[in-house]
Amino acid sequence: MGNQGILSDIKVLDFTYLLPGPFCSLYLADLGAEVVKVEHPIAFDGIRKMGPFFPNSEITTYHYLLNRNKKSIAINYKKKEGVEIIKKLIPHFDIFLEGFRPGMMEEIGLGYEEVNKINPEIIYCSISGYGENSRKDFAGHDANYLSFSGVLDLIGENKPVLPAIQIADILGGSLHALIGILTALYARTKSNRGDYIHISMHQASLSVAILSIGDYLANHQNPIRNQTYLSGLLPNYQIYETKDNRYIVVAALEGQFFHIFLKQIQREDLWEEALKKNFNFVKQELKNYFQSRNLKELEFLFQNPNTCVSPILTIKEVFEDPLSVKDQLVIEINDNKLGLIKIPNFPLQFKRNKIYIKTNSPELGQHTYEILNRYSFNDDRINELSSKKIIKIN
């Protein structure tokens, strides 16, 4: 099947590993771009071996979800001959995405200035932990970037807790990189020039804590964990436990929704208490209410479109809920290796354009021959490079 999708004329050289870069290039691939994942034949993307495996399979679920719709070429870019191969590919690509520490790509001869000389129209995007600031040489992961940005201190109750989703990696790194790349693609239509984008996951993490920063700027006091407006202070924006040890969330932030909720549970008397800011009293009354009822008894609240009350579902419940498939939150695909499986749907839906889930995650070097042969490397040269272990052909 030929390439399809909104970005079907865009080609990406993707040097990123693990989560932040691959999540960004996943969206580009789902939008139709040809994403060529460049991996070292030996020091390949560690996520190929990380995390759980599909049942009766050697495919990790993490790698599968992050690298569908992509192609893999295996080139030893630490060798000069490998770098020369990549330089011959650069004129044919639109986007160059990398996620190493600042300076590493310059050391091997593939920094922005060198790549820009070869292809002035290329969009070069770097994702790193701390950008090019004073901590640029520090190794790090999601939790480190959240800690240095102050975000980790905001998460939890009595003490900070590690979030189960990777905020700095995805919200800070992947999505900001995607914004930068798509913006630069648009700008290129006007100037015929590429651009250089550097994403600091540390800096981007701080930027998404915008409401907590607002709390700080109001009085220059550190926001108290679990005591800001949207993290536990308000009774109408709160998590409560039920009698059967399940959890529900009341998120009736606006007055009209909170009033409807109170009317539904026949506790309109709490409205005046909330207006007086007797928050702890209202929270305790609501806590008592929910702890006296099972989750099933609260369905009348969940079914009312104006209470802003919902059960806290598990991932398992989301995937097993028929509405998740009906509403295309989750889609079923028939994978040629794994059979029928469910995966999260691409979250952007377009009226005139379609999103294609075409291929599963590639094996290491699965497309090395295809890509090199397409760009003027003949069989003899490819075999020679393979025998010298400059490339890996699968």
Find tokens 């926001």 and name the residue: 223
Residues sharing a CB contact under 8 Å with residue 354, sequence separation 6 or more, in sequence order: 4, 5
Which of the residues 169, 195, 215, 335 is marked catalytic? Answer: 169
Burial of 167 (0-12, 13-18, 19+ CB in 10 A): buried
195 is catalytic: no
120 CB-contact burial (10 Å; exposed 0-12 / middle 13-18 / buried 19+): exposed
Alpha-carbon gap, residue 170 to 160, rounded angstroms: 20
**30 closest CA partner among 72, 81, 2, 68:** 68
Distance, CA of 363 to CA of 263 (rounded, Å): 57
Amino acid at 254: E
Measured distance CA(246)–CA(99) in Å, rounded: 40
What phi and psi, each to the nearest 5 degrees, are found at residue 36?
-105, 110
The neighbour count for residue 165, using CB atoms within 10 Å, is 8
Structure tokens at 113: 């200035």
- Give CA–CA dist 100/97, Å, rounded: 10
Buried b / exposed e across 121-141, counting CB within 10 Å, b at 16+? ebbbbbbbbbbeeebeeeebe
Q: Which residues are catalytic?
A: 169
